[in-house]
Every structure is written in C-alpha cells, then in structure tokens.
Chain A
Amino acid sequence: MKCNRIVEAMDGYLDGSLTPLEMGMVESHVEQCAACREELARRRALLDQLNRLDEDVKAPEGLLEGAMQRIHAQRKPKRRAAYWIAGGVAAALCVTAGLAGLGAMLMGGASKMAQTPMAAEPSGGYYTNATMDAGAAYDMPTAAEEEKAWDAAAAIETPKGEPEAAPAPSPAEGAAETMVQGAAKDSAEDGAQYGLKIIRDAHIEIQTENYDGDVERLRALVEEFGGFITSNDEQGSSAYNERYGSSSRYSYMSVRVPSGSLDSFLEQARQVGIVTNSGVTESDVTASYVDTDRRLKAYQKQYDRVLAMMDQAGTVEELIQIESELSRLELQIEDCQGQLNYWDSRVGYSTVNIYLDEVRRAVAVTENATLGERMRSALADSWYGFVEGAKDALVGAYAALPYIAVWVLALGAVSAIIALIVRGVRRKNRKR
C-alpha cells in the first residue's frame, strides 16, 4: 500500500510540485525500496526523453512566406478599393478646397483665417494612433473601413469565430461532448433552475495625458467598486519618443470587478481619459455549467455506491479494486467541482483588461463611435487646432512686430511723399 502512495506522488516529485515534507518522504522511501527506485528512474528517463523530443525540430522553410502570401493575397483587393475611395475623397476635398479658396478670395482676406488651424501642426505633428504608423503605405484615411470589411470577411470564412470567442472546450473529454449537446437543448428550462451563467468580460484602451494621476484614479476606482487588481504591468519611460509620437509609457492592468457593477465601472473608467477602444464580451456557459453539475451529482452518487460496497468486499483484491475506483471517482469529482468553481468565479467577477497609454495629446480614434461622438471629437480637434493656431498667430504677430514697425515707417514715408506731391500739384492748379 505504501508503495502505491509513493508511486502516485512520483509525478509531483519530478515536477517539483510537492511540499518539502512529501519530497522527503518519496526520497527516503526510494532509498530503501528497489522497485520504487526503478520506477522513479524509468519515469525520470521518460520525462527526459519527452523534454528533448523536439529540441532539434525546426519550422519548415517557407512557412512564414507561405502564410504572408496568403495574408497579403487576401488583403490586396480590398486595399485597391481603399485607394479608389481615398482617391475619390481626396479629389472631393481638392474641389471643395478650391471652391472655398475661390470664395475666400472673393470675400477678401478670409483666406488668411483658413490657414491658421494648419499652422497648429508643428513640424513633427501631434501624435495620435493614426500618425504612429503613417509610414505604412496602406494607412489611408479609409483604413478603418477596410479593416471592418476585412473582419466581416474573416468571420464568414471561419464560422467557429476567432479563438477569443470560441466556446470553452468541454471540461469533459471524449464522450461528454455529446452530453453537452444534449444538455444545451434543455438549457433554457435549466437556466431557470440554475440561473443564467453568463461571463461578461471587458477591455478598454485609454489614452492619457496625465499618466501617473490616471493610474491612481483607476486603482481607486477598482477599489471603490469592490474589485481587485490581478496583474499590472507597467513599462517604458516617460521620455517622449519623437519617432513614434508617444511617450513609451503604458500600463496593462487586469482587474476583476463584481459583474453586477461592470457597466457602471466601465462608465466611470471611460471618464478617466480618452477611450480609443473598448468592448464587452459575453459568453453564456449555462449549458456547460448545467451539464458539469449533473455529471458531478452522478459521480457523487456513484462514489457513495462504491463506498457502500466496501463493507461487502471479501478479498483483498476486491478491496484494492474498490479503492482504485474510489480514487478515480475522487479525481472526477474534483475536476467537476473545480470547473464549477472556476465558472462561478468568472460569472461573479468580470475581468476587465485596461490598457493605459501615455500620449502628449490624447486623441480618440474610435472606429465604432457614434455620429455624436465623432462630431464631438472632430469639434474638439478643430477647437484644439484653432486654439493652438491662435497661440501661434499671437506668437507670430509678436515676432513680426519689428517688420510691422518697418512697414509702418515705410508706409508713413511713402504716404508723406505722396501727400507732398499731391499738395504740390494742388498748389500748381490753384496758381493757374
């Protein structure tokens, strides 16, 4: 019996996942017992072989090239369409600008004002997500639309959806797959019994001009909502990176908040900075949950039955058989219980992944923004441009003072001369 226990602990021993006490027990037993020593050596050798099994295997030549070809081929036609659209938009803009310029010329002087917002853009440009990859040829203004069409095409091609959205694999293996399908049919009525088990997770990307303050605000917010931070990864320095148009400081925060207050938490979190991307994913695990719970109950019943058989066991052999059956059932019960606990935790607490990006000037680049949001952001953009332009104009005017002074003097001199001449002419006329 004791050898059995030791053998069961061997994998944990080789993994190094046992407590020091257990490790010691295995070691001292193995020293005395030749059979176990042999078994341990055999297992260690097997693990060693597995570890080294693929160390020399290399990806075949052309793997990346083949994949990139497929990626590129699938993108190309849409990109061409994007160019056409971009060309059309550009042409329309030119015509509009031309008309506007004509109008301005007719109205006189107004064309100067039209230029001021552009002057707000310093040579490096202010930095947004979009300018970040301005070097890439296909970052046309319509890249967002193209991307959307692209996603739609991808979704059709892989009906199972992206791995992110793929349903959680059945915790049961093999035969249980059909059980899950069966359970899905009556999940509606079971839903009432168990309550709907829906996992709601969210992600949110925020640009901030006040990095340190906003990190603190987010932390405080998580605490306020009774949540907790599960991981936080801060990187980069606050040094402003001219080339990429942002300081390279960013923070990934993974937090858990009670799922009941997920929406109000998100609402608050969105106030922290400019949201460039956010979304909520929902997955309904009711069917799998119900199925697992049923299996758990079935295993528990079976366990009790087998346990009762122990009293009637006559031979040692029968006892051993019963014990092995019990330990098998224990594993299954633990497995189910663990999976249920996992789901309970994920249903009760939503995971929110927050990405906080430090920028010099936060700019919303929301693809699925509402018209109102877009108008507001456009207005904010142009207002910013106007203010910066006005500042520049002020500075320019100040800098131009000496020139203006010269011009004023020159004009004064010229007008004085003209006045003198005119006076002379009049005098001549009067003399006549």
Chain B
Amino acid sequence: MDIDMLNLRRAVRGDERAFETLIGPYLDTTYRLCLRMMGDEQDAADMAQEALVRAWRALGSYKGQSRFSTWLYRVTCNVCLDELRRRKNIQTQSLSALQEAGVELVDPGQTPEMAAESAQTRRELTEAIGQLSQEHRAALVLRDVHGLPYEEIAQILDVNLNTVKSRISRARASLRAILSRERNFPARPASKGAEGRDEK
C-alpha cells in the first residue's frame, strides 16, 4: 500500500480534508499525464480537475487491488481518453490540421532560460507525441515520460502485458518515423514498418 489507509478510509466516508491530503502528492503527475494526452495547457488543467473530481466519486471502488497511484493514473487516463473520443466524434480536427491552419502549438514547461536547441527539441517531441494515436500516445507517455513499468501500464490501460509491449514498441517506432520525417532525416532502413502500422 502506498498511501495512508486511515486517510483513505476517511475520504471514502466523505472527509474532504482527508481527500486533499491523500491526493496532494499526485497533483503534478496527474497534470503531466493530462498535458501529454491533451497537448494543451488549458485542456490539461480542465482534465486534471475532472480527474480529481471523478477520483473523489469513485474512491469507494478503490479496493487496494493495486497501488493507489496506479488507480489514480487509470482514472486520469480514462478521463482523457473519454474526452479525446468525444471530440473525435464531434470534429476530426487533427493536430496536423491545426498546424496547417497556422495554430502555434504550446510548448509546455518552456522557460526563457532554456537553451534554444533544447526548446526546439521539446517542441518537436511535443508535436510528434501529439500525432500518435490515442492508445499509442497513452502507452508511450506512461512508459517513456512517466517511467512506469510495463506491468503497471497494463493495469492502467486494462490490457494484457503483451499488448502493452507491442503498443509501446509500435509507438516508439511511429515516434521515430515522425521525428525523422520532421527533421528531414532520411528514414532509417532499419525502422521498417514504422508508420501505418496501426492495426488495420
């Protein structure tokens, strides 16, 4: 158990302050995940808030079957995926369409003192991650940005271990392909089948 059981049980019974104490250490990670999934600061803040509210409501369903952080990741991930699916149904406005329309992509966490080259890299990565499919994006962000083990990602996404492994390896291949295309590198002969390899 990675949390204080007493606070958990109090929060389940409706103690708001206990919930604040419980959730406090996870605010940054929750927001970071939302940021990568949504690709926009305002959306990320909205989704992170939604995730916290939903976590409060669903707290009774947390039975200690996993670490608390895993459970919260799962709630957060579902909130973002639900929203992305909903939007997909309303309008099919992809990131690349936005770029073509001249919309400047927000580079989260960019600070003035950051070296120009590193800022450039971050922008490229942000853009490339945004172009991955939802499922690939979630798997890659959880593994490579948040550094979670495969087993935990399987629990968060509720798929089996092999699916997680193949999603991550395909997501990485897609990411490399997108980056090399954008950086005008010739595509590596080795990264065969990197793009268009979503199950179709």
Q: Which chain A residues have a beta carbon within 8 Å of chain B's beta carbons? A: 3-4, 7, 11, 17, 39, 43, 46-47, 49-51, 53-54, 56-60, 63-64, 66-68, 70-72, 75, 129, 132-133, 136, 138-139, 143, 146-147, 150-151, 154, 158, 160, 162-166, 168-169, 171-176, 203, 233, 235, 244, 248, 250, 252, 254, 320, 324, 327-328, 331-332, 334-335, 338-339, 341-342, 351, 353, 355
Q: In the complex, A368→B144 CA distance in Å?
A: 44
14 A-B pairs within 8 Å (CB atoms) are namely A50-B144, A64-B23, A71-B16, A71-B52, A132-B9, A133-B13, A163-B58, A163-B78, A169-B157, A174-B135, A176-B199, A235-B5, A334-B166, A355-B64
Chain A residues within an 8 Å CB radius of B168 = 11
Q: Is the CB of A136 within 8 A of B144?
A: no
Which B1-50 residues have a C-beta within 8 angstroms of A?
Answer: 1, 5-6, 9-10, 13-16, 19-20, 23-24, 27-28, 30-32, 35-36, 41, 45, 48-49
Q: In the complex, are the beta carbons of A132 and B10 less than 8 A apart?
A: yes
Q: CB of B145 within 8 A of chain A? A: yes
Among B57, B157, B162, point to the contact of A335 (Cβ < 8 A): B162
Q: Do A54 and B145 have beta carbons less than 8 Å apart?
A: yes
User: Are A136's CB and B13's CB within 8 A?
Assistant: yes
B199–A163 CB distance below 8 A: no
Question: Dominant SS at the B interface?
Answer: helix
Given A51-B145, A51-B147, CB of A66 within 8 Å of CB of B49: yes
Which residues of A have CB within 8 Å of B14?
A: 75, 136, 138-139, 143, 146-147
- In the complex, chain A residues whose CB is within 8 Å of the CB of B20: 64, 68
- Contact yes or no, A254 B30, CB < 8 A: no
Q: How far is the CA of A75 from the CA of B168 in the complex (A)?
A: 41
Given A49-B121, A66-B49, A71-B16, 6 further pairs, Cβ under 8 A: A11-B168, A57-B108, A64-B20, A132-B10, A147-B14, A320-B192
Q: Find out whether the CB atom of A203 lies under 8 angstroms from the CB atom of B16.
A: no
Which A residues are CB-close (under 8 A) to B170? 331
B-to-A contact residues, CB < 8 Å: 1, 5-6, 9-10, 13-16, 19-20, 23-24, 27-28, 30-32, 35-36, 41, 45, 48-49, 52-54, 56-58, 60-61, 63-65, 74-75, 78, 81-82, 108-109, 111, 121-122, 125, 133, 135-136, 140, 144-145, 147, 150, 157-163, 166-170, 172, 175-176, 179, 188, 190-193, 197-200
> A194 CB to closest chain B CB, in angstroms?
19
Q: Are A57 and B109 in contact (CB under 8 A)?
A: yes
Inter-chain contacts of B35 with A (CB < 8 A): 54, 57
> What residue in chain A is nearest B173 (Cβ atoms)?
A11
Is the Cβ of A169 less than 8 Å from the Cβ of B122?
no
**Distance of A175 Cα from B169 Cα, bound (Å):** 19
- Complex: how many Å from CA A303 to CA B162? 19
Verify A60–B45 contact, CB threshold 8 A. Answer: yes
Please, which residues of chain B bring their CB within 8 A of the CB of A334?
162, 166
- Interface-central residue, A63, A147, A172, A320, by most chain B CB under 10 Å: A63
A252 & B1 in contact (Cβ 8 Å cutoff): yes
Q: Contact: A353 with B64, CB < 8 Å?
A: yes
In angstroms, how far is the closest chain B Cβ from the Cβ of A314? 20
B61 neighbours in A (Cβ, 8 Å): 162-165
A173-B133 contact given A136-B14, A138-B14, CB 8 Å threshold = yes
A70-B49, A328-B193 are contacts. A133–B54 as well, Cβ < 8 Å? Answer: no
Please measure, in the bound complex, the distance between the C-alpha atom of A154 and the C-alpha atom of B53, giving whole angstroms: 10
